[in-house]
Structure 1
């Protein structure tokens, strides 16, 4: 079995600079709690979105286990639009309601899912029987989980916290179990 720990990034203050947006003070506090969650777990490797907030959230795990963080661009958060979105809630509902719809310069759910699922499958195949941490984001994490089970939908995404941690157990490329291990 391969165990994937999806670690959704901790709280960050919104800026338009997706790549460099750092964690907030609360985010750094929660990052320490995330690190403690993994202290007694065996972790073989760590991957992350290249976005700073995702990397910062898993840095403590990497330090604790003396591992490098491998950033992969295809694990970044979905691009909603390159244009200004005035009503984020309405926009996000629209892309979840219509999986093939994309705003100007953005990614549909289908496109974002396909981008990230190929990477996840390659990670699983490259690390059979390993325990892997992946620093990620809410939308892309929910889309990856939805690929394996449609119950991980818009309402699931809405309930995610920052941070959040889910343990997914795979037998080869078949999802066998999902557990939320983060305690708010």
Structure 2
């Protein structure tokens, strides 16, 4: 059985690609080391955004596993314009997966990016992989496997958050692990 641990980055100072973790976020990154202790990890793939990388660096040092960066794991761009009502617009994209705002990508386009990464991992040789990404993209991936995972579930994600995606005989299922702490 192949396992993918999906990690949403720790608490960050902002949304830009170079936003760093907060003091609390750095502590959360250290807690991920404890969380994954005793779990054999073969591979770590991360969004190149600074908050994602900083979230997983303490674990990579502990495990002596190098980070592979994958641009398909960057956060979804809702729009290139500043949207004062971005929360309403984001909610609408969970209802209409083809809806697209200026300079942004649709939910379907973003979902396809992360699904491609997951399929590559499931088709690869490694048994236990960590994928570090962002809340919106993670939500779209989980929606791919369970249509009931939507905007409200996205709002209930934590920083960090951890889900386990398992592939057994071609069947894919997931469970949230972080809330079990």
> Normalising by the residue count of structure 1, what TM-score does the alignment of the two structures yield?
0.92
Which residue in the other structure is 1:156 paired with? 153
Measure the CA separation in 2 of the matches of 1:144 and 1:89.
19
Gaps in structure 1 of 5+ consecutive residues: none
Which residue in the other structure is 2:131 paired with? 134
Is the CA contact 1:3–1:167 (under 8 Å) kept in the aligned structure 2? yes
1:116-135 matches, within 5 Å, as 116-128=114-126, 130-135=127-132
Measure the CA separation in 2 of the matches of 1:155 and 1:127.
35
Out of 85, 88, 93, the residue aligned to residue 86 of structure 2 is 88
Q: Once superposed, what is the RMSD of the aligned Cα atoms?
A: 1.4
Whether 1:61 and 2:56 are equivalent positions in the alignment is no
Return the offset for 1:14.
Answer: 1.5
Which residue in the other structure is 2:35 paired with? 37
Return the offset for 1:127.
Answer: 3.0
Partner-residue secondary structure (3-state), 1:157: helix
Partner-residue secondary structure (3-state), 1:58: helix
Measure the CA separation in 2 of the matches of 1:127 and 1:2.
9
Which residue in the other structure is 1:51 paired with? 49
Is the CA contact 2:14–2:20 (under 8 Å) kept in the aligned structure 1? no
Which residue in the other structure is 1:14 paired with? 14
Return the offset for 1:174.
Answer: 2.8
Which residue in the other structure is 1:2 paired with? 2
Return the offset for 1:173.
Answer: 4.7
- Residue-pair matches, total: 180
Return the offset for 1:131.
Answer: 0.7
Pair 44,95 (structure 1): closer, same or farther in 2 beyond 3 Å: same
Is the CA contact 1:39–1:64 (under 8 Å) kept in the aligned structure 2? no
Out of 156, 174, 179, the residue aligned to residue 175 of structure 2 is 179
Which residue in the other structure is 1:98 paired with? 96
Partner-residue secondary structure (3-state), 1:112: helix
Pair 173,145 (structure 1): closer, same or farther in 2 beyond 3 Å: farther
